């Protein structure tokens, strides 16, 4: 097990990993920077340390929020390798598969569900002139993400590859699907909030039309694979035209 100070140094450096992103190696330089304190402790001999670092001189990329779990798992393996319990060839095999798996989980849960949910919730609160709740939601989510990073790092550092079973129990992929349903509801709420109050249609009629529009958009995206940005642009143009009284709605 790594000393607490060394582990905390690696954890803190995960916040800076994308500062070293390159087009060729992606997070290669950043991850070496993250792993360096631990590798320096595990391999006091310079030749062994250089050999350990050479295992990470390849293209590497994973989701930033899942990086602490990735680093914790890798360092758990390196601790076993330094102790002679595992061969050094174990890391390249695990590293490539682990990085891709965690990247898919992070993209689906954080980028595809949680962050859009935060953005939509803040928009709904700000449109309703609820500035303080929007700030509180943002602060709480920020703290929750930091807690997730810290807990996932130390959990993976302690259990290594076996920690993947614990990550599976979180069921983040299915939670992403549930959050996306909430996102659809938030979109409907925002459309209802933006409904012109002097329009011939009442806000409740506009809300019903908003629900129908969200369902229709979901069907179009699922059926024809139409990029969602096109639907967002169409919605934005419609709202602008309505606000400028260029549409008779």
Query: For 123-187, what is the HEC assignment?
Result: HHHHHCCCHHHHHHHHHHHHHHHHHHHHHHHHHHHHHHHHHHHHHHHHCHHHHHHHHHHHHHHHH
Q: How far apart are CA 139 and CA 144, in angstroms?
A: 9
Q: Is the separation of the CB atoms in 120 and 186 below 8 Å?
A: yes
Ranges in the chain, pLDDT < 70: 195-207, 209-210, 221-222, 228, 232, 239, 242-249
3-state secondary structure of 190: helix
Instruction: Determine the pLDDT at residue 188.
Output: 80
Query: Where do the structural domains in the chain lie, given as residue ranges?
Result: 4-98, 194-249
Per the listing, tokens 């259990």 go with 159
CB-based burial label for 99 (10 Å; 0-12, 13-18, 19+): buried
CA-based nearest residue to 10, from 158, 157, 145, 144: 157
Measured from the Cβ of residue 133, the count of other Cβ atoms closer than 10 Å reads 14
CA nearest to 41, candidates 160, 159, 157, 148? 157
Counting Cα atoms < 13 Å in the Cβ hemisphere of 79 gives 19
* pLDDT for 199: 56
Give the Cα separation of 229 and 234 in Å (integer).
9
HSE of 131 in the Cβ direction (CA atoms, 13 Å)? Answer: 0
For 238, the token pair is: 């419609």
């Amino acid at each position: 097990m790594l000393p607490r100070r060394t582990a905390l140094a690696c954890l803190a450096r995960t916040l800076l990993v994308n500062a070293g992103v390159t087009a060729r190696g992606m997070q290669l330089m950043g991850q070496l920077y993250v792993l360096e304190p631990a590798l320096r402790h595990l391999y006091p001999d310079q030749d062994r340390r250089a050999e350990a670092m050479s295992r990470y001189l390849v293209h590497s990329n994973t989701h930033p929020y899942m990086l602490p779990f990735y680093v914790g798992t890798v360092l758990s393996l390196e601790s076993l390798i330094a102790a002679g319990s595992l061969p050094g060839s174990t890391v390249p095999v695990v590293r490539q598969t682990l990085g891709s798996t965690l990247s898919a989980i992070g993209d689906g849960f954080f980028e595809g569900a949680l962050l859009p949910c935060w953005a939509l919730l803040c928009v709904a609160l700000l449109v309703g002139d609820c500035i303080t709740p929007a700030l509180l939601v943002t602060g709480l989510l920020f703290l929750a993400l930091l807690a997730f990073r810290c807990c996932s790092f130390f959990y993976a550092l302690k259990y290594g590859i076996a920690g993947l079973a614990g990550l599976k129990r979180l069921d983040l992929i299915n939670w992403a699907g549930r959050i996306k349903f909430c996102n659809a509801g938030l979109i409907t709420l925002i459309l209802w909030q933006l409904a012109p109050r002097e329009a011939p249609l009442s806000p409740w009629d506009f809300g019903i039309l908003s629900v129908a529009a969200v369902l229709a958009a979901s069907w179009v995206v699922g059926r024809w694979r139409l990029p969602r940005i096109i639907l967002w642009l169409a919605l934005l143009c419609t709202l602008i035209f309505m606000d400028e009284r260029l549409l008779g709605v």
